[in-house]
Structure 1
Amino acid sequence: MDSSSLQWTQFLIAVTVAFFIAFRAHKRKSLNTSGAIAGFIVMSLHIFVGSRFGAMLLAFFFTSSKLTKIGEDKKRKIDPEFKEGGQRNWLQVLANSGVASVLVVIIWVLTKGQDKCLNSNDSALVTFFIGGVIGHYSCCNGDTWSSELGILSDDQPRLITTFKPVRRGTNGGVTKAGLLAAAAAGSVIGVSFVLLGLLTTKCGFDIALKQLLVIPIATFAGLCGSIIDSLLGATLQFTGFCSVRQKVVGKPGPTVKKISGVSILDNNAVNLVSILLTTILTSIACLYIF
């Protein structure tokens, strides 16, 4: 099979898999209509460019969607913007995958469609951008796991900037369970990258063995991304308690008493900035290590 036929085959596989997953996610209310369309495009792109990128995206999507549905009754009482099943829209999909989508396109152009290992001696730029995708999804998964599991924890949340106890749902509030969940979430991304790489990417033995270092790198990136997200949430995102709704809210108002932060960034902007920072830091780490 020549390279052109192989790429068409990869494209058809990517589109078919992405359509099935997006349709299923829409049916199960993990994505609304706009989110399903955006998710289809993003998933098709990732799977087409490389199985490892598709694996990381799907590991993030499936685990996060599953955790979102755990403890829904408790989350409904705490979260004023609670949606049944999560129901992410197109903006949330792009906030959690837009940067990575740009990176995988750059990788595809640099590698001319070939699946490359992390190896700076072969191509420092490719290693830099692959590291960015790893950091991106480690951060996204870490933030989601820490939020979804941390809010269910019996631990008293503490504001990351002052360590003072705060109400559940406060932006920048952290728990031990949440931080451990973030690290575990990053490790899942690292494992998905390594396992698919061992099955699909041809490397020399020494280089292939070194790819295992992605797991601790991704673990740290998940934890680091969650901490950055919490720091931004505690300082640049408003949190208050509404005396009427008896819930923690993200916008000031006459019945809202401020808990922390100022109204500079909303939740999507906080996620985007934390993703960008973690992506850059992980790219640099991979360039140095590999």
Structure 2
Amino acid sequence: MTEPVRRAGVFALLCTLSLAVPLFGPEIAAALAAVVLLGAVAVTDGPIFDLLAYPDDYEDGRLYGLIAFVLAGVALGLLAVQSSMTSAIFVGTVFLIGYGNFGERLVRTRSDSDVVHAAGFCLIATVAAVVGQAATVAVTGGSIPSALPTILFLAASGALLAALLRDVLLLYDDPVVMLSVGLLLWLLAELDPALGAAEIAIALAITAALGYASYALETASIAGMLTGVLLGLLTIVLGGYGWFVVLISFFAIGGLSTKFRYDRKEDLGVAEDNNGARGTGNVLGNAAVGLVAVLGYAASEAAFLPIDAELFLFAFAGSVATAMSDTLSSEIGSVFEQPRLITTLEPVEPGTDGGVTWQGEIAGVVGAAIVAVISYALFAEVGVVGAAIIVTAGFVGMTVDSLLGATLEGPLLGNQGVNFLATLSGAIICALLGLSFAILG
């Protein structure tokens, strides 16, 4: 067994001590945490230090990695005593990080593939989080069958977020990952999933399969794949399969459009980096507003927000229509005749921010229309007028993207910031027009 595997195994065993919170109460758990912290401070060399130390710990002769990990657990534990559900989330989160890391280390001894490492972490972390939450529910007298859908949803969501953060951050940033995952899961726990455990498992399998397909087709990096799977899972569970179909239409068609005449784009210098594979920043820049709309819809359905849930549906469709419209406009329009700057209509070099072509504008409208047709087919609330509103919102959002690119991109905004503001404008326009139609109708 290699040194990283042994270290990860010891950390996983230490994570098991988090069960002291539901078993014995916060006082005993705090005492155990204090003992571990004192031990981490006292041990400065020797075999135990070598077993627990990260490479950076040797410079100062202190187990800072272990100390930070325990303190992060204590911070989450302070919030875990509020109810049995918060205790379950706390234990599940700690199990997820500890055993997920241990599982990934074991997988690394068998494979050199990064995608296999990520898959191994997600699978083992999900199982560990389910076990930790279920054990806590059982200890606190709750019903595991009734809590199972929420347990599975939180476990899978937390594992995907943790894998994503570990891919983006440093390998030794587990304390930051633990806090981030715990806070997200406490938020999601307030939005009870409408699906059963079997349906959530099916949703997870579907999103994972589509996510891997995007990676295999080189339309997404590993981080982009993980982000897409997480967004897809949240969309299915909190919105429904109809919402997911709208979202996945953008990922599928937008990803394939990146490959459209890719050699020509490389010659012009306008091709996406990494052979067109989209990363986390690109995925979130285009889908973050849609995710917020899904969360808003779920919160409205759960009566946490005094806002008509239909408005969030239109905001979601408007944001996706904008993302689809802008992506097709740039990916298809960039290979045709010389673009013109949207603010002055002067000819500019291909790839210039704010440059547009008439072919790209048509492709953008078609992209928005695709989202509108899908929404019309899947949601009775949309209707013909609603579909027209979605197309309008997509076109407006695409135009905002070009205007921002010509004026603010570079000195003030990056590409992902422009994408975010454009999708936000499309969402707002769509929601406002949908509201106006509902009032007048």
Question: Above 0.5 in TM-score?
Answer: yes
Matched, 1:222 2:411: no
Residues 196 and 9 of structure 1: CA distance in aligned 2, closer, same or farther (over 3 Å): farther
1:250-286, Cα deviation, whole Å (9 max, x unpaired)? xxxxxxxxxxxxx111111111111111211111011
Matched, 1:159 2:341: yes
Give, in angstroms, the shift of residue 81 of structure 1.
Answer: 6.1
Matched, 1:192 2:374: yes
Runs (5+) with no aligned partner, structure 1: 114-122, 199-207, 239-262
Counterpart-to-counterpart distance in 2, 1:287 and 1:71: 40
Counterpart-to-counterpart distance in 2, 1:94 and 1:163: 30
1:14-67, Cα deviation, whole Å (9 max, x unpaired)? 211100000111111111111111111001111222122101111111111111
Amino acid at match of 1:152: V
1:199-258, Cα deviation, whole Å (9 max, x unpaired)? xxxxxxxxx6x62323211211221111100100001124xxxxxxxxxxxxxxxxxxxx
Q: Which residue in the other structure is 1:50 paired with?
A: 240
Matched, 1:237 2:427: no
Counterpart-to-counterpart distance in 2, 1:34 and 1:6: 27
- Asked if 2 retains the 8 angstrom alpha-carbon contact of 1:14 and 1:45, the reply is no
Q: Report % sequence identity.
A: 28
- Asked if 2 retains the 8 angstrom alpha-carbon contact of 1:124 and 1:287, the reply is no
- Asked if 2 retains the 8 angstrom alpha-carbon contact of 1:96 and 1:140, the reply is yes
Q: Which residue in the other structure is 1:104 paired with?
A: 294
Matched, 1:279 2:427: yes
Residues 68 and 80 of structure 1: CA distance in aligned 2, closer, same or farther (over 3 Å): closer
Taking structure 1 as the reference length, what is the TM-score of the superposition?
0.79
Other structure's SS at 2:353 match: coil
Counterpart-to-counterpart distance in 1, 2:308 and 2:353: 36
Match of 1:79 among 269, 289, 292: 269
Give, in angstroms, the shift of residue 83 of structure 1.
Answer: 2.8
Matched, 1:270 2:418: yes
Match of 2:318 among 135, 138, 146: 135
Amino acid at match of 2:216: K
Q: Which residue in the other structure is 2:159 paired with?
A: none
Amino acid at match of 2:217: R
Amino acid at match of 1:138: A
Counterpart-to-counterpart distance in 2, 1:286 and 1:50: 20
Amino acid at match of 1:110: S
Amino acid at match of 1:167: E
Give, in angstroms, the shift of residue 78 of structure 1.
Answer: 2.2
Counterpart-to-counterpart distance in 2, 1:103 and 1:264: 26
Q: Which residue in the other structure is 2:225 paired with?
A: 36
- Asked if 1 retains the 8 angstrom alpha-carbon contact of 2:329 and 2:360, the reply is yes
- Asked if 1 retains the 8 angstrom alpha-carbon contact of 2:340 and 2:356, the reply is yes
Counterpart-to-counterpart distance in 1, 2:301 and 2:268: 47
Amino acid at match of 1:46: T
Give the structure with higher Rg (CA): 2
Matched, 1:20 2:203: no
- Asked if 2 retains the 8 angstrom alpha-carbon contact of 1:237 and 1:266, the reply is yes
1:175-195, Cα deviation, whole Å (9 max, x unpaired)? 111111111111111111121
- Asked if 1 retains the 8 angstrom alpha-carbon contact of 2:314 and 2:434, the reply is yes
Residues 99 and 194 of structure 1: CA distance in aligned 2, closer, same or farther (over 3 Å): same
Could you tell which deviates more after superposition, 89-98 or 66-75? 89-98
Q: Which residue in the other structure is 2:28 paired with?
A: none
- Asked if 2 retains the 8 angstrom alpha-carbon contact of 1:28 and 1:85, the reply is no
Other structure's SS at 1:171 match: coil
User: Greater helix percent: which structure?
Assistant: 2
Taking structure 2 as the reference length, what is the TM-score of the superposition?
0.53
Give, in angstroms, the shift of residue 88 of structure 1.
Answer: 0.9
Q: Which residue in the other structure is 1:144 paired with?
A: 327
Runs of 4 or more above 6 Å deviation = none
- Asked if 2 retains the 8 angstrom alpha-carbon contact of 1:142 and 1:226, the reply is yes
User: What is the RMSD computed on CA atoms of the aligned residues?
Assistant: 2.2
- Asked if 1 retains the 8 angstrom alpha-carbon contact of 2:341 and 2:356, the reply is yes
Bigger relative contact order, structure 1 or 2 (CA pairs below 8 A, ≥6 apart): 1
Matched, 1:174 2:374: no
- Asked if 1 retains the 8 angstrom alpha-carbon contact of 2:330 and 2:360, the reply is yes
Runs (5+) with no aligned partner, structure 2: 1-145, 150-193
Counterpart-to-counterpart distance in 1, 2:369 and 2:268: 28
User: Size of the alignment, in residue pairs?
Assistant: 245
Counterpart-to-counterpart distance in 1, 2:386 and 2:294: 17
Counterpart-to-counterpart distance in 2, 1:270 and 1:178: 18
Other structure's SS at 2:196 match: helix
Amino acid at match of 2:203: A
